[in-house]
């Protein structure tokens, strides 16, 4: 499959059916697609590097509780960064003059890339884009891919926030979901993150194979004892085209999983973390700016293998997808043709796309934001709002709409009201 270059700028700017009065905030997403081993539940565009022994040397029983990382020969750091920057340069006309409010380096496992590579990447980005003075720059990291002082080196490279994918502190559960780290390494990584960064995310999962409420309580107690400023807790779901989809594990029953969510809400509340999004809990001033931009239907430029973009113009909202396979992406990005898809979002789909994101927020959204970010009149969602209110899933006043407690608990039902033709 060959890629394509973006359309000419005049194509994006030509007249259309939408009337967007202003552009929303802009974020930058950079995708680094490699990981040590593909997790059986993961449907992200991630690719295992070959030769695990070349990647990780596990600490011995008497060694410090850290994992020592050796950059694998198969990881083409410099060529991939060359491709990212070439891809960014081709995309620059689409975001020219706009300020970037957040940067997120995701994957895969971006912490497989050396601090020197991340330093080069961020330097090249800053040379081409105007970043907000206090721009949030997040790097995803896994406990199985760090060594002592490695996180401090990422901080020195310009990263301001770490997102640590722990998933569980139970060694048996970690094995069941294919993670490459253990409890000890997870705790060591989080302690290092707390020392190296002013803020960081701790990511957990629940309703794991064989997990009981008591096991979840222990995971939460361990996590909260580390005083994370931000905690994300995701329900394990079986996604198509994953190992778990082909070989389904035995998961907790739905009523047990609902009870687990109550456990999470109660425990985080006692610890002073506010549930500001359906899966996110934070202390004051530690919300994730980058994720908030997604949920508020902001714009984002996605660079890297399989990365997605959403960009707004005066008369259209555009979605782009980059080529997925890393080798093909690198070759095509360096040739100026990294796109696999470049399409206008259909007018009929915009209400659902907006609601799919905005209703995840406890605070909901301002009605003015709907009109500004979709270019549509409020009449486009009037019937859906009325139905949501009738079913007790929504509350609204003259300025805002937000989900009720019932709406938060049955979020999929609430979002589906806004599907085109629903």
Residue 2 confidence class, pLDDT cut points 50, 70, 90? confident
Residue 40 confidence class, pLDDT cut points 50, 70, 90? low
366 near 10, Cβ under 8 Å? no
**Cα–Cα distance between 29 and 34 in angstroms, integer?**
16
Q: What is the pLDDT of residue 176?
A: 87
Q: Classify the phi-psi angles of 97: left when phi > 0, otherwise alpha if psi is within -120 to 50, otherwise beta.
A: left
**Cα–Cα distance between 183 and 393 in angstroms, integer?**
39
pLDDT above 70: percentage of residues in the chain: 91
Q: What is the pLDDT of residue 131?
A: 98
The residue-averaged pLDDT of 198-208 equals: 95
293 near 25, Cβ under 8 Å? yes
Higher pLDDT, 130 or 67: 130
Question: Under 8 Å CB-to-CB from 367, ≥6 apart: which residues?
Answer: 378, 396, 398, 399, 400, 401
Residue 68 confidence class, pLDDT cut points 50, 70, 90? very low
Most confident of 42-56, 63-77, 93-107, 240-254: 93-107
Question: Under 8 Å CB-to-CB from 196, ≥6 apart: which residues?
Answer: 151, 152, 154, 155, 162
Residue 9 confidence class, pLDDT cut points 50, 70, 90? very high
Q: What is the pLDDT of residue 63?
A: 32
**pTM of the shown model:** 0.92
In 3D space, the residue among 216, 173, 166, 167 whose CA is nearest the CA of residue 190 turns out to be 166
Give the lowest-confidence range in 7-11, 115-119, 172-176, 262-266: 172-176
Beta carbons within 10 angstroms of residue 343's beta carbon: 10
The residue-averaged pLDDT of 48-58 equals: 44
pLDDT at 7 over 90: yes
For 210-243, the pLDDT digits (tens) are 999 999 999 999 999 999 999 999 998 877 877 7
Q: What is the pLDDT of residue 74?
A: 73
**Cα–Cα distance between 346 and 352 in angstroms, integer?**
11
Q: What is the pLDDT of residue 41?
A: 62
Give the lowest-confidence range in 109-113, 156-160, 299-303: 109-113
pLDDT at 322 over 60: yes
**Cα–Cα distance between 310 and 11 in angstroms, integer?**
16
pLDDT at 118 over 60: yes
What spatial distance separates the first Cα and last Cα of the chain, rounded to whole Å? 35
Beta carbons within 10 angstroms of residue 211's beta carbon: 24
């Amino acid at each position: 499959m060959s890629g394509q270059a973006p359309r000419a700028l005049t194509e994006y700017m030509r007249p259309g059916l939408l009337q967007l009065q202003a552009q929303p905030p802009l974020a930058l997403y950079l995708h680094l697609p490699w990981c040590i081993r593909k997790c059986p539940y993961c449907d992200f565009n991630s690719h295992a590097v070959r030769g695990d022994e070349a990647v990780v040397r596990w600490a011995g029983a008497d060694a410090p509780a850290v994992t020592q990382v050796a950059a694998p020969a198969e990881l083409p750091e410099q060529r991939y960064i060359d491709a990212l920057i070439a891809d960014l340069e081709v995309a620059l006309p689409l975001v020219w003059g706009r300020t970037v409010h957040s940067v997120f380096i995701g994957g895969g496992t971006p912490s497989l890339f050396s601090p020197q590579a991340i330093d080069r990447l961020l330097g090249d980005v800053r040379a081409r884009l105007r970043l907000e003075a206090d721009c949030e720059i997040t790097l995803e990291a896994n406990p199985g891919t760090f060594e002592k002082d490695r996180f401090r080196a990422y901080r020195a490279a310009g990263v301001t926030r770490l997102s640590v994918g722990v998933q569980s502190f139970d060694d048996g559960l970690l094995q069941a979901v294919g993670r490459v780290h253990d409890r000890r390494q997870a705790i060591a990584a989080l302690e290092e993150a707390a020392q190296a960064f002013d803020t960081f995310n701790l990511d957990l999962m629940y309703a794991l194979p064989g997990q009981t409420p008591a096991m979840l309580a222990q995971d939460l107690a361990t996590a909260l004892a580390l005083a994370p400023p931000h905690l994300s807790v995701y329900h394990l779901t079986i996604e198509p085209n994953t190992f778990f989809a082909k070989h389904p594990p035995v998961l907790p029953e739905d009523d047990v999983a609902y009870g687990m969510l109550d456990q999470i809400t109660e425990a985080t509340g006692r610890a002073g973390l506010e549930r500001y999004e359906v899966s996110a809990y934070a202390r004051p001033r530690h919300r994730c700016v980058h994720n908030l931009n997604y949920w508020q239907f902001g714009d984002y430029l996605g660079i890297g293998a399989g990365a997605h973009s959403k960009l707004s113009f005066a008369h259209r909202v555009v979605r782009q997808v980059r080529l997925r396979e890393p080798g093909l992406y690198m070759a095509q990005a360096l040739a100026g043709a990294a796109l696999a898809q470049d399409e206008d979002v259909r007018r009929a789909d915009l209400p659902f796309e907006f609601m799919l994101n905005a209703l995840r927020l406890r605070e909901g959204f301002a009605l003015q934001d709907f009109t500004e970010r979709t270019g549509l009149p409020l009449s486009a969602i009037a019937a859906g709002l009325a139905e949501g209110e009738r079913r007790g899933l929504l509350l609204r006043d003259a300025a805002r709409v937000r989900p009720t407690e019932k709406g938060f608990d049955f979020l999929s039902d609430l979002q589906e009201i806004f599907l085109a033709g629903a």
